[in-house]
Copies of this chain bind each other. A is one copy, B any other.
């Protein structure tokens, strides 16, 4: 049995209902108006059900930034040149990037992963070395990757979770991405799944102008028209119009879910990966948390399809896992809300 199938099969279909009910009960008895901490209460109860305890401790936090290049950048879909992808991987490894700073604030260890960067990194560079190929093909001309490579990219993500856990149990995993041009395959993926017109799903990425946006929409449409990906087959979509890091991001979600690890996904690209994961294995959704609402317009449609509401809307449009990193602190906080706020009985306050 393939690693992918094995992983999907091992995801539990339900969480710990007993602990979930106990969490809900405690929240309702805390000395505050019922449900007055809104979304934080919902999160805390789900985390408790995932971990099987009221007193969840999210000690070991990890963020994995999956990086890859995209043949479709030949079509002028991005403002930045493709050479920025390997430069940023080096920046992550040195700790100077945005996700390092925000991850550090959240107490998370950040590590990049080369899934398909068009550059040969020194094998001693402290990143996950999981290159499937040197970037995807230009999907306006041929499929982005073979179906076998799509599976390999997902399995790279699954392996990364296993390797992290081999070092120390992971309490919370955050996903992030780096890949010049990768909002293009991400928008293509949600278009392929949903059938929603490409122009409604496509945004300005790192900041392209009107003409470049029109071109980007045309490029995505061309890829969809050429390959006609099957909306019922996530691997078909991923291989035809996806990205290698998007496959690995799906693998991170599947690997985390299979191991009972809550996983928080970042912006448009990470959520494209999460979408692939949840279409392959709907039970993975139970372990998934949406972090932020990106400026990218397609993100909303992904959250709609996942049935999820992001925690914050701070007008981020960066990726890297920066949204995941910010929201790790909120997940952490939610565990304290559930465990540490006293009940009416415990503090002698009149209940209604």
Copies, count: 2
Residues of B within 8 A of A88 (CB): 31, 349
A185 vs chain B, min Cβ distance (A) = 18
Contacting pair A336 B33 (CB below 8 A): no
- Give A323 to B291 CA distance when docked, in angstroms: 18
Contacting pair A91 B347 (CB below 8 A): yes
A314 in the interface, Cβ–Cβ < 8 Å? yes
Contacting pair B314 A40 (CB below 8 A): yes
Residues of B within 8 A of A79 (CB): 33, 352
A126 in the interface, Cβ–Cβ < 8 Å? no
Most chain B CB inside 10 Å of its own CB: which residue of A40, A83, A96:
A96
Contacting pair B97 A31 (CB below 8 A): yes
Complex interface bits, A314-346 against B, C-beta within 8 A gives 1, otherwise 0: 111110101000100110110011001110001
Residues of B within 8 A of A33 (CB): 79-80, 206-207, 317-318
A101 in the interface, Cβ–Cβ < 8 Å? yes
Residues of B within 8 A of A315 (CB): 38-39
Contacting pair B349 A38 (CB below 8 A): no
In residues 137-189 of chain A, which contact B (Cβ within 8 Å)?
A: none
Contacting pair A348 B87 (CB below 8 A): yes
A2 in the interface, Cβ–Cβ < 8 Å? no
Residues of B within 8 A of A39 (CB): 314-315
In residues 75-90 of chain A, which contact B (Cβ within 8 Å)?
A: 79-81, 83-84, 87-88, 90
Contacting pair B314 A96 (CB below 8 A): no
Contacting pair B322 A37 (CB below 8 A): yes
Residues of B within 8 A of A207 (CB): 33-34
What would 12 A/B residue contacts be, using CB atoms closer than 8 Å?
Answer: A30-B98, A31-B97, A32-B318, A37-B314, A38-B314, A79-B352, A80-B350, A96-B346, A102-B333, A105-B333, A314-B330, A326-B330
Supplied contacts A36-B316, A91-B349, 11 more A-B pairs, CB within 8 Å: A38-B317, A39-B314, A39-B315, A81-B350, A84-B350, A96-B346, A101-B337, A102-B337, A105-B333, A326-B330, A329-B333
Q: Which residues of A contact B (CB under 8 A)?
A: 30-34, 36-40, 79-81, 83-84, 87-88, 90-91, 94, 96-98, 101-102, 104-105, 206-207, 295, 311-318, 320, 322, 326, 329-330, 332-333, 336-337, 340-342, 346-350, 352
